[in-house]
């Protein structure tokens, strides 16, 4: 069954056809008689034949691989919550195709040129990019070189519409969160926003503002406090907010980790959650479930996001569809903190 690998030649011989015909059958060409098709398929099954990827790649001038590039210096912080889920979605979608997923991580800036070079030299037929950095030049460069590319999150500014993307509906999620807080009767709803140079930070803040607007409220700047997606940052931002607006009774925090910091700060300030201040996070990470009180948060369809990325890339690769963007809706998970 294993051992001496069998070749297409063997299959052809056994089926009593030429190598060319056997190849046609394997590639689903319509120009084959039913008779030949059946015999080749039987031979394949009997021999346990598996095509040689290398030979095929060499002949068709394609690697038949998709690269997953995780280009993030601080992999630890960023990757943990997303990586496993997204990857699972990607492999699920890719599993049915002949494409292989090869993993390229560039934790330090030093190894990015190598990766880029590799991809630009045909290292993969298509590329999926997982990166928090908005300014990543890689996708645009790949697209310019004619290599299909789909990024997670909003596409980098310079890329035009040449690169596909799949993003979670950050703004919509934030709006949901705010609507929920308003529904809970909160009067003064502030936000601990993410950094304004990161797309999710910007979008979630915008969602907060629009959410308030839709409720007929104002969204004054002094109800926004920016932090850096860390727990400590979240705590500090919350303290600042409380200092400026002691009446604060609702808080939308742009990530679960920062929300944990917010809970710290609120507790330190003697505010009860949710009685005095209701808090909503974002991400629905493990942290949210284990927080005290358990955090109401916005869940992103991580695995689905990976699957859609792969799908959009395959569309470009196989039916050379144009690169498109897609926004996946989020879901509010209500827990004890509101």
Partner DNA sequence: TGATCTGATGAGAGCGCTCCCACACCTCCG
Partner DNA sequence: CGGAGGTGTGGGAGCGCTCTCATCAGATCA
Shortest Å distance, C-beta 133 to DNA: 33
Contacts by residues 42-47 (CB-CB < 8 Å, ≥ 24 positions apart): 42/15, 43/10, 43/11, 43/12, 43/14, 43/15, 44/11, 46/14, 47/6, 47/10, 47/11, 47/14
Shortest Å distance, C-beta 128 to a second copy: 11
Retrieve residue 148's tokens. 């299909």
x/- letters, 85..104, toward a second copy (CB under 8 A):
x-xx--xx--x----xxxxx
- End-to-end Cα spacing for the chain: 60
Residue 97 as a binder of DNA (CB under 7 A): the answer is no
Phi, psi of 149 (to 5 degrees): -150, 135
CB of 272 or CB of 289, closer to a second copy: 289
DSSP helix/strand/coil, 20: helix
Considering CB distances under 5 to 8 angstroms, the limit depending on partner class, which of a second copy, DNA, none binds residue 18? Answer: DNA
DSSP state of 326: E
Going by C-alpha positions, the residue among 82, 79, 81, 1 that lies closest to residue 45 is: 1
Residue 285 as a binder of DNA (CB under 7 A): the answer is no
Q: Tell me how far apart the alpha carbons of residues 205 and 105 are, in angstroms, rounded to a whole number.
A: 30
Burial zone of 11 (CB within 10 Å; 0-12 exposed, 13-18 middle, 19+ buried):
buried
Considering CB distances under 5 to 8 angstroms, the limit depending on partner class, which of a second copy, DNA, none binds residue 36? Answer: DNA
CB of 55 or CB of 324, closer to DNA: 55
CB of 21 or CB of 176, closer to DNA: 21
User: Which of the residues 215 through 234 are near a second copy (CB under 8 A)?
Assistant: 231
Residue 84 as a binder of a second copy (CB under 8 A): the answer is yes
User: Which of the residues 44 through 83 are near DNA (CB under 7 A)?
Assistant: 49, 51-52, 55-56, 58-61
Looking at 13, 19, 78, 317, which residue binds DNA (CB under 7 A)? 19
DSSP string, 77-130: HHHHHHHHHHHHHHHHHHTTSSPEEEEEE--SGGGHHHHHHHIIIII-SEEEEE
Residue 114 as a binder of a second copy (CB under 8 A): the answer is yes
User: What number of H helices and E strands is found in the chain?
Assistant: 13, 12
Retrieve residue 227's tokens. 């932090």
Retrieve residue 282's tokens. 């974002």
Shortest Å distance, C-beta 322 to DNA: 23
Q: Tell me how far apart the alpha carbons of residues 35 and 76 are, in angstroms, rounded to a whole number.
A: 56
Residue 118 as a binder of a second copy (CB under 8 A): the answer is yes
Shortest Å distance, C-beta 44 to a second copy: 12
Binding region for DNA (CB under 7 A): 5, 7-9, 16-21, 23-24, 26-27, 30-33, 35-36, 49, 51-52, 55-56, 58-61
Binding region for a second copy (CB under 8 A): 1-2, 5, 50, 52-55, 57-58, 63, 65, 68, 75-76, 79-81, 83-85, 87-88, 91-92, 95, 100-105, 107, 111, 114, 117-118, 120-123, 145, 231, 257, 260, 286-287, 289-292
């Amino acid at each position: 069954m294993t051992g001496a690998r069998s070749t297409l030649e063997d299959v052809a011989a056994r089926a009593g056809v030429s190598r060319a015909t056997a190849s046609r059958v394997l590639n689903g060409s319509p120009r084959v008689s039913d008779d030949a098709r059946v015999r080749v398929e039987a031979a394949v099954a009997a021999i346990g034949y598996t095509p040689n990827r290398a030979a095929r790649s060499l002949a068709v001038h394609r690697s038949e691989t998709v690269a997953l590039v995780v280009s993030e210096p601080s992999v630890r912080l960023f990757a943990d919550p997303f990586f496993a889920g997204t990857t699972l979605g990607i492999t699920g979608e890719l599993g049915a195709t002949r494409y292989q997923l090869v993993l390229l991580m560039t934790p330090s800036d030093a190894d990015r040129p190598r990766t880029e070079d590799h991809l630009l030299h045909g290292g993969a037929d298509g590329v999926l990019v997982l990166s928090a950095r908005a300014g990543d030049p890689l996708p645009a460069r790949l697209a310019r070189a004619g290599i299909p590319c789909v990024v997670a999150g909003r596409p980098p500014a310079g890329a035009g519409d040449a690169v596909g993307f799949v993003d979670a509906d950050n703004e919509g999620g934030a709006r949901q969160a705010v609507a929920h807080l308003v529904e809970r009767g909160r009067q003064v709803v502030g936000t601990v926003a993410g950094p304004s140079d990161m797309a999710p930070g910007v979008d979630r803040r915008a969602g907060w503002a629009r959410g308030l607007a839709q409720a007929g409220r104002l969204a004054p700047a002094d109800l926004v406090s920016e932090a850096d997606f860390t727990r400590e940052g979240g705590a500090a931002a919350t303290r600042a907010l409380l200092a400026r607006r002691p009446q604060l009774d609702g808080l939308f925090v742009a990530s679960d980790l920062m929300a944990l910091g917010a809970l710290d700060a609120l507790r330190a300030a003697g505010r009860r959650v949710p009685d005095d201040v209701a808090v909503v996070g974002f991400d629905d990470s493990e942290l949210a479930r284990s927080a005290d009180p358990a955090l109401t948060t916005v869940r992103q369809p991580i695995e689905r996001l990976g699957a859609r990325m792969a799908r959009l890339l395959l569309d470009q690769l196989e039916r050379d569809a144009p690169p498109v963007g897609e926004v996946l809706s989020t879901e509010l998970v209500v827990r004890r903190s509101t």
